[in-house]
C-alpha cells in the first residue's frame, strides 16, 4: 500500500511539472516567433498565387520582420 502511495506522488508531481513547462512554453516570446513564421508563409502563398503585388508583398514582409523581431 505504501509503495502505491509513493508512485502516485511521483506521478502527481510529474504531471504538475509537465503542466508548468507547457504553460511556460505556450506563453513564452518564442511562441510569437512561430506566429510570425506562419504569417510570412501565408504571405508567400498569397504572393505566389498572384493575390498581391510585388510591392505589397515587400511592404508586408518588411512590416512583419521589422516590428516583431
| Residue whose cell numbers read 509513493 | 6
Over residues 12-17, the mean pLDDT reads 94
DSSP per-residue string spanning the chain: -HHHHHHHHHHHHHHHHHHHHHHHHHTSHHHHHHHHHHHHHHHHHHHHTTSS-HHHHHHHHHHHHHHH-
Give the pTM.
0.48
Residues 17-27 have pLDDT tens digits of: 999 998 887 77
Amino acid at each position: 500500500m505504501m509503495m502505491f502511495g509513493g508512485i502516485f506522488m511521483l506521478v502527481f508531481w510529474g504531471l504538475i511539472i509537465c503542466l508548468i513547462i507547457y504553460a511556460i512554453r505556450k506563453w513564452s516570446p518564442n511562441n510569437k516567433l512561430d506566429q510570425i513564421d506562419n504569417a510570412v508563409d501565408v504571405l508567400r502563398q498569397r504572393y505566389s498565387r498572384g493575390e498581391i503585388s510585388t510591392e505589397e508583398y515587400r511592404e508586408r514582409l518588411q512590416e512583419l520582420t521589422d516590428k516583431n523581431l
